[in-house]
Structure 1
Amino acid sequence: MGSERGVVTTAGGRRIEVLTAGDPDGLPWLWIPGSPSAAADYPRLDALAMKLRLRMVTWSRPGYGGSTPRPLRAQGPRIADDVADVDAILAALGMDGFVAVGWSGGGPRALACAAMLPERCQAAATLAGLAPFGAEGLDWFAGMGPGNVADFTAALTGSEAYGAFKEMYFLPMTAARVDDVKAGLGALLTPSDDTARTAELAVWLTEMMHRAGAQGVIGARDDGLAMVAPWGFDVTGIVVPVAVWAGGLDTTVPFAHGKWLAANVPASIAHLIDDAGHITLVNKIEDVLRELLEITETPLHKRRHV
């Protein structure tokens, strides 16, 4: 039936741009893309949601797209802050139980839902998702591409300096053409990737990037600041089943992050794929969702944990 765009207003008066698709009567599926991102239609996901009888819900985080920024507090933004917006979105849409899937920088938000809404989040998945900054036993930057190393290092310098960094390096990306994005994707593909999906993926990522910069650098700045700060919840206390998908050829989010999450999230189900990269895991989204649906249909005492 296609996607529908709307606005949810929080108790504090902020506007959140929301996009829904798939089966109106299906199990709610929160789709949380990475950083930077904003709500943009992806027909492949719309069709998949309908096929699996899911109601896909995605949104633009504060400062992205048409979503009102949060006031920048002295302690800075936290990943946990987004859970209150999730709660507001679900309430406005009349939704209760849900599953959450986060890709890359969206992974920590999926973990936050599992940690902070355990009575409603029935299962979650992190695809090439980051581990907490400063996690014990993890060299957070090891194996990470130089662009991301530079970005997160800049985030550690504080909001003003990082904002200037984003003005220089992020804003030009918001004017990228589809061909530019497609060429960039080519550098991330692995020999096992389905290159046939690249063109469609490039169109979606291009629109998402354009919308992400609608308010300048605010959303991207706050995303980076939140990632290198304390997240506001403890991943080692998660009791909801969490599928951890990570690729051994990923230089955007190193394989070690997925391994750390698989070892430290108590209810994790590990999918550590040696020959997968950052894009591979998006192309496996149907497998991801089918597993989450299987988990939600399995009695708690029979759920498998690793």
Structure 2
Amino acid sequence: MTKEFDLDLGGGQTLHVYDTGQAAPLTAFWHHGTPNIGAPPVPLFGDGIRWVSYDRPGYGGSTRVPGRDVASAAAYTTAVARALGLDRFAVVGHSGGSPHALAVAALLPERVSAVLTGSSLAPWGAAGLDWFGGMAPGAAASLHAALAGPAARAAYDDNPPGDPDIGFVDADNDALETDWAWVLDVVRPALAQGPVAAGDDDLAYVAPWGFDPAEVTAPVLLLAGQLDRMVPPAHSAWLAERIPGATLQTSAVDGHVSILRRFPEAMAWLTSR
């Protein structure tokens, strides 16, 4: 059973934390996507792993922090780890959570044993990467707005474009008919709170991240679906070339959400690090 509590960070800021709590050989910090709340991934629960996570600021029960960057995940993870008495852990992220997981690994190298990501974005301006190449119009629109600044991103939420194509493929819809329907359990509460936190995420993705992925020294496994039109697999390929010793695994039959079906096997890799 997952326990939840609010962590007082001082200065009026609260971080909402999740912890499966059981003693286990491995603790894994989950970093959630956009827009999600931070509840850890129930389909990956099992013996041998303690899952810990938090709502990024603005989501769920966590206080909003306008202007937060991707690197801030390291400070939030440190605060949670300190509160729970955790010294060393793995980090796991999907979609928008993946850059945040990489941030923790880059900035807390002495604490991170390994990194698993799925459908990760690469930094905006990544050399040699066509950042929007292959991205569905509905997925790209909010990021284009974020590039124009906070006011433009907020205006996008007030009057989003009419193209509904966010890049879902049949494999994604099929995955949502399995135990990965869990994704809807974390998306719906985030959407119900409104678009502000997702806007903060988008602004962070297209701003300087606050670290270089090349600084990650822990073992890294990047998963990507070749059918992904929300975050095309070229982003993960770029990261794999940038991060020393990183391994890229692509799936010819998966999209953005359905790549989560490859995570159970990848967890075996994570626990062996």
TM > 0.5: yes
Contact 2:91 2:114 in 1 (8 A): yes
The match for 1:201 among 161, 177, 180 is: 180
Between the aligned partners of 1:81 and 1:41, the Cα distance in structure 2 is 19
2:113 matched to which residue of 1? 122
Match of 1:225 in 2: 203
Counterpart CA distance in 1 for 2:73 and 2:104 is 9
- Relative distance call for 1:146 and 1:194 in structure 2 (3 A) is closer
Pairing partner for 1:258 from 236, 239, 244: 236
The one-character-per-residue Cα deviations of 1:111-147 (angstroms, maximum 9, x if unpaired) are 1011001000110011111111110010000001111
Matched with 1:30 is 29
- CA displacement 1:200-230 (0-9 Å, x = unmatched): 433x333322322454332111100000001
Label 1:289 to 1:167 Cα distance change in 2 as closer, same or farther (>3 A). Answer: farther
- State the 1:194 CA deviation: 9.8
Aligned to 1:59: 54
The C-alpha deviation readout for 1:36-84, integer Å capped at 9, x for no partner, is 1113465323xx2x32x111012110001110011x3xxx331001211
**Equivalent residue of 1:16, what SS?**
strand
Tell me the alpha carbon deviations over residues 270-295 of structure 1, each in whole angstroms, 9 at most, x when there is no partner.
21233332123211111121101112
RMSD in angstroms over aligned alpha carbons?
2.4
1:82 pairs with 54, 73, 89, which one? 73
Deviations 1:23-42 (A, max 9, x none): 33442101112111113465
List aligned pairs for 1:67-106, cutoff 5 A.
Answer: 67-70=62-65, 72=66, 76-106=67-97
| Rounded Cα–Cα distance in structure 1 between residues aligned with 2:56 and 2:6 | 12
Please give the alpha-carbon distance, in whole angstroms, between the structure 2 residues aligned to 1:32 and 1:41: 8
* Structure 1: gaps spanning 5 or more residues: 174-183, 296-306
Partners of 2:184 and 2:157 lie apart in 1 by 18
Contact 1:64-1:213 at 8 Å conserved across structures: no
2:3/2:21 contact within 8 Å kept: no
Task: Provide closer, same or farther for how the CA distance between residues 41 and 236 of structure 1 changes in structure 2, counting only shifts above 3 A.
Answer: closer
What is the one-letter code of the residue matched to 2:189? R
* Preserved contact between residue 188 and residue 279 of structure 1 (Cα < 8 Å): no
**SS of the residue 2:185 aligns to:** helix
Structure having the larger proportion of residues in helix: 1
What SS class does the counterpart of residue 10 from structure 1 fall into? strand
| Percent identical | 39
Measured in 2, the distance between the counterparts of 1:30 and 1:55 equals: 9
Q: Which runs of 5+ in 2 are unaligned?
A: none
Query: In structure 2, the residue corresponding to 1:31 is in which secondary structure?
Result: strand
Give the C-alpha shift of residue 239 in structure 1: 1.2
Deviations 1:156-179 (A, max 9, x none): 111122123124449xx9xxxxxx
Q: Which residue pairs with 1:164 in the alignment? A: 155
Q: Using the TM superposition, name which of 286-295 and 108-117 deviates more.
A: 286-295
Distance 1:145 1:43, change over 3 A: same
Instruction: Give the aligned partner of residue 135 of structure 1.
Output: 126
Matched residue, 1:290: 268
Number of corresponding residues: 270
One-letter code aligned to 1:18: V
What TM-score, normalized to structure 1?
A: 0.81
Match of 1:302 in 2: none
